[in-house]
Amino acid sequence: MNSIEYITYHGFEGLNYAPDKGYYPKFLNAVMERIHQKMSCNIVVTGEAGVWKSYCAIHIARIIEGKKPNGEDRFGLDQVVFTYKDFMELVLKLPPDKPIVFDEPKRIAF
């Protein structure tokens, strides 16, 4: 099943990109509906190296989190983790409706 068939099969044929908003409103509405119903909402971003997966995940989290009254993002870089231990600590620390970006661990050469 290719991506168009998958989208049509699962009822997401109306995922029209809104350039003025910078996201797909139907996708965001589906995510927010799950969050408001206290349902799990796990989003996985996959792809080849260098295709901006981390940026995409953080952008989605920023949209879900929204902005403070002064216009600053509510989502902070402290909500981005690289280890399972840090992920579990954040899951226990944050309220259930807060997004967490679990990015791939970076390899450090010595």
Give the pLDDT confidence score for residue 22 in this predicted structure. 58
Q: For the chain, give the percent of residues with pLDDT over 70.
A: 73
pTM of whole model > 0.85?
Answer: no
pLDDT single digits (tens) 58-99: 988 988 888 888 988 899 999 999 988 999 999 999 998 899
Instruction: Using alpha carbons, list the distances in angstroms from residue 46 to 5, 51, 55, 74, 103.
Output: 18, 9, 12, 25, 11
Amino acid at 67: K
Give the pLDDT confidence score for residue 6 in this predicted structure. 45
Give the pLDDT confidence score for residue 5 in this predicted structure. 47
